[in-house]
Amino acid sequence: MNRKLLFAVIALALVGYLVSSHTLKGKADQITEGSVLSESTTTTPPPELVQPARIAASPDGDIFVSDYKQNLIFTLGSDLSVRKYFEVDGKPLGVAWGQGKIFVGNETTQSVEVYNRNGKLLYDLGMAVTSPTDIAVDNDRNMVFVSDTQEQVVKVFDTSGTFLSQIPAAGQKVLRNPTGIAVDPARSEVIVSDFGDPLKREPASVKIYDYDGTFRVVMYGSTVQSEYRFSRPQGLALTANGNFMVVDSMLGEVLVFDRNTLQGIRSLGSFGSAEGQLRLPLDVMILPESTDVYVTDNRNGRIDVFRGGGTP
Amino acid sequence: MKKRLAILLFMVAASALLISLTPGKPEALNPNHQCSYCHSVHGAPGPQLLNNTVVETLCLTCHGPAGISTLKADVHQNDSPTQYPAFRITCTGCHDSHDNRPNWLGGTNLELVGRSQDGTGLAKIDTPNSGIRNTVFESRGTNVGDPSLHSFADADEDGNGVYDGICEVCHTLTKFNRNNSSGGHKHNTGKTCTNCHAHVDYFLP
């Protein structure tokens, strides 16, 4: 009899545990798996962005932002509401979406880590990336491009982490201090912003290579039309017709260039802290459907949205 | 043609004169900082031909997130005041971007620590509540294999009665390592303070 009672107690405890864990999982469609730090609850308000660095989006409209100060990756809605966030063990920089996963450049561990969208660390790309400053993914070709500022190259992996090649290829125009990166799958092009190097008498630029690392063209920030000059180029984004945007972190502007002529078309923002102004902007992203432009505004601790700013 | 040449020569001479009269003239520029990192001859938006109107932003384009320098930094800030008041010390509160300055003990500081504040040319800090004070920073501390003497906070190791380490020089309210003999001076004395109080994390614990 006592044994039966014991079994009954154990069974009840087990049922109770299963019910409670199901309730926890179902409580919020906001996560809870793996290394997720926290959820938005009534008792613990979600953190706010402090130092947004890089930004990317998934096709279904989630926006991912790395917060360099708080070591967090935020998932935001298009209205900038915080949907989720998870912690990274180190300083996150580059962030990108591909193959249903979030790729994060971790400056502290010098690696590119791959998370599911619930913030569970799945694996890393398996090869040291000294400073994974920015990441871009060609989803259809299963390729990940990582800008490594200190090693002065772009490293190319497949999404499972196999190293494929590096850009520039041997004998091609070198990168001095690469920072931001974007890919244009239609042209099979990699677009890289480069701080340049005054010691080598090379000004800041945007350089374009093909996927094999063959150099195609360079645009120097000191020789474009005067109103589009730049000196600290950071993140890049492509418009629907293949033109590109580059952020100048120094002057607080987003500059839009014609890919074919390399002439400036228009600019967004100006330096400052007022509405529509930027202080140390680091990245730019366009939501395809709305053509709204999202800019990580690091010193102002916010994301600035330029409605319809990404219209081709 | 001669007229144009004369105008050109005049402009070059005027520029040279302007630079020579500018405070902090780059006569001994830190080799890691090229002029054009921060200045433009044409179209500079800031004063003194600076590329930005806000020096902090200018510094952080390289030393901030995604910048190209490996020396990542941020301001010294306490934005969630507890027992200490809120404060914010920006880059130029501690650093002279042009060069390492000589200090009052006859040595030369590292890491561009200390600025010329009063015409002596010596490395000094304009502290929040202790006036202008000398600072000596010739060692990165024992955690990185450097001497404890003249490191971030050496607790007056040289016994001259002056607490002039770069971490000590301003502190008057902290529990440890103040700029006077009060409080505790045994908290990791001579060590590399930035190992725990990282520059990139506002120098906070």
Domain holding B203, by residue range, is: 73-205
Q: Which residues of chain A have pLDDT under 70?
A: 1-44
In chain B, pLDDT over 90 holds for what percent of residues? 64
Contact status, residue A284 vs residue A295, Cβ threshold 8 Å:
yes
Is residue B143 very low, low, confident or very high in pLDDT (cuts 50, 70, 90)?
Answer: very high
Query: Cβ A234–B66 below 8 Å, yes or no?
Result: yes
Residue A233: strand pairing partners: A248
Q: Is residue B3 part of a domain?
A: no
Q: How far is A310 from chain B (nearest CA, A)?
A: 24
Q: Compare CB distances from B66 to A229, A271, A282 and report the shortest one's residue.
A: A282
Q: Compare CB distances from B65 to A93, A195, A226 and report the shortest one's residue.
A: A93
Domain count along chain A: 1
pLDDT in tens, A218-272: 999 999 999 999 999 999 999 999 999 999 999 999 999 999 999 999 999 999 9
Query: Cβ A280–B51 below 8 Å, yes or no?
Result: no
* Residue A134, helix vs strand vs coil: strand
Query: Cβ A53–B57 below 8 Å, yes or no?
Result: no
CB under 8 Å to A259, separation ≥6 — which residues? A184, A187, A242, A243, A244
* Residue A92, helix vs strand vs coil: strand
Alpha-carbon gap, residue B53 to A78, rounded angstroms: 32
Average pLDDT, chain B: 86
Q: What tokens does B94 get?
A: 């501690």
Measuring CA to CA, which residue among B151, B17, B25, B49 is closest to residue B99? Answer: B25
Is residue B19 very low, low, confident or very high in pLDDT (cuts 50, 70, 90)?
Answer: very low
Cβ neighbours, 10 Å, residue A2: 6
Q: Strand pairing of B123-126 and A253-257?
A: unpaired
Identify the residue with better confidence: B43 or B113.
B113
Residue B107 reports pLDDT greater than 70: yes
Best residue in A148, A194, A232 to probe B by mutation, most B CBs within 10 Å? A232
Query: Cβ A91–B60 below 8 Å, yes or no?
Result: no
The per-residue pLDDT for A16 is 40
Alpha-carbon gap, residue A114 to A234, rounded angstroms: 23
Residue B31 reports pLDDT greater than 80: no
Domain count along chain B: 1
Q: Is residue B43 part of a domain?
A: no
Among A289-293, B47-51, B73-77, B146-150, the minimum mean pLDDT is found in B47-51
Q: How far is B120 from chain A (nearest CA, A)?
A: 32
Residue B5 reports pLDDT greater than 70: no
Question: Is A277 at the interface with chain B, CB within 8 A?
Answer: no
Q: Is residue A10 part of a domain?
A: no
Burial A43-78 (b: 16+ CB within 10 A, else e): eeebbebebbbbbbbeeeebbbbbbbbbbbbbbbee
Q: Is residue A311 part of a domain?
A: no
Domain holding A131, by residue range, is: 31-306
CATH number at residue A223: 2.120.10.30
Quote the strand ranges of A139-243, DSSP E.
Answer: 143-148, 153-158, 163-167, 178-184, 189-194, 205-210, 215-220, 233-238
What's the maximum distance between 2 C-alpha atoms anywhere in chain A?
Answer: 91
Q: What number is the average pLDDT over the span B112-117?
A: 94
Q: Is residue B23 part of a domain?
A: no
Q: Is residue A77 part of a domain?
A: yes
- pTM of the predicted protein model: 0.84
Q: Strand pairing of A270-271 and A264-268?
A: unpaired
Best residue in A150, A181, A250, A298 to probe B by mutation, most B CBs within 10 Å? A250
